[in-house]
Structures are given as C-alpha cells and as structure tokens.
Structure 1
Amino acid sequence: MKATFGEYIRQLRTDKGLTLTQLASQLDLDSANLSKIENGKREFDEKRLDKLAIAFNLNIDELKTEYFGDQFAKKMYQYNCSPETLIVAEEKVNYLKSINVKQAEIKF
C-alpha cells in the first residue's frame, strides 16, 4: 500500500514501464492531469477505475478497496476523526445492505 492513491498509480505505471502519456491515453486523460493525480494535486475520478483495472490487469474489487480506502483516510484526516469512525461506517454499511436485502425479498 502506498500513502496515496496517486502514488499507487505511479508505482503501477513505473513497474509496467509506461510513460505518463501512455497511461494517460489509456485512461482518457492528458498527461498533465495524470501527473497532478500522481503528485496528489488532483483527485482521480472514480469513473476511471475500470479503465485503470484493465490497463494493469487488476481485480476491480481490490482496486476499489485501495481507492475508497484512500478517500476515507483523507476525509478522516481532514476532519480529525478517530479510528472508531471506521467501525461506525462498517456498521452503517451492514445496515444499508440489510435494508436492500429486505426490500429485494419476494413475498408470496
């Protein structure tokens, strides 16, 4: 795990021997914006996660974990949240899942 999602992308790119321009093209970005993402000056657009997964042959669920983990960490740092915030968030996710399951149940 890298400190930021941008650093994670840079590591993937350099490990594969791609230039900024080559990867940016695969992600439908220009190389300047990709450089800003790698340097933490711009956020990566989650709509491009599928393209990133394809570019590096990554499991999309693992990539989402890395991306959203980074997003949560930034928000928690920004607002000086305690680690307990993650426990509460997990409980809320489980609750939301249970609501969706109940709504999807078919009653005869």
Structure 2
Amino acid sequence: MEANFGEYIRKLRTENGLTLTQLGAKLGIDSGALSKIETGKKEFDEKCLDNLANAFNLNIDKLKVEYFGDQFAKKMYAYNCSTETLIVAEEKVNYLKNINAKQGELEF
C-alpha cells in the first residue's frame, strides 16, 4: 500500500519502466495530468480504472480496493470520522446487496 493512489500509480509506472507520456497514452490522459495525479494535486478518474488494470495486467477487483480505499480514507480524514464509519458503510453495502438480490428473485 502506498500513501495515496497517485503514489501507487507512480510505483507501477516506474517499476514497469514507463514514462509519464507512455502511461498517459495507455490511460487516455495527458502526461501533465498524470504527473499531477502522481503528486496528489489531481484526482484519478475512476473511469480510467479498467485502462490502468489493462496497462499493468492487474486484477480489477484488487485495483478497486486500492482506489476506493484511498477515496474513503481521504473523505474520512477530511471530515474527522471515526473508524466506526467503515463498519456502518460495510453494513450498508450488505443491505444494498441483499435488496438487489431480492429484487432479482421472481415469485411464481
């Protein structure tokens, strides 16, 4: 785990010997924007997660864990939330999954 998602991307990029321009081309963003993402001055667009996974042959589910974990941590820090927030969020996710599963069931 890196300190933030931008640092995670920089680590992947440098370990794979890619320049900002090369990775930016794979992600569909310019090198200046990618540089700002890596330094934490700009947020990574979640729409590019699939491209990032493909660029480095990463498991998309693990990549989502890294990305959304970073997003949750930033929000929790910004609003001074306790870790209890994560427990409540997990309960809400389970509730939403349960509701969606029930909506998919048809009774005859």
- When normalised by structure 1's length, the TM-score is 0.99
Aligned AA (1:68): F
Q: Structure 1 segments of 4 or more deviating over 6 A?
A: none
| Residue 91 (structure 1) aligns with | 91
Q: What runs of 5+ residues in structure 1 fail to find an aligned partner? A: none
Q: What displacement does 1:106 show?
A: 1.1
1:53 paired with 2:53, answer yes
Aligned to 1:42: 42
Aligned to 2:12: 12
Q: What 5-or-longer segments of structure 2 have no aligned partner?
A: none
The C-alpha deviation readout for 1:13-59, integer Å capped at 9, x for no partner, is 00000000000010011100000000000000000000000000000
- 1:66 correspondence with 2:60: no
- Taking the aligned partners of 1:43 and 1:63, their CA distance within structure 2 comes to 15
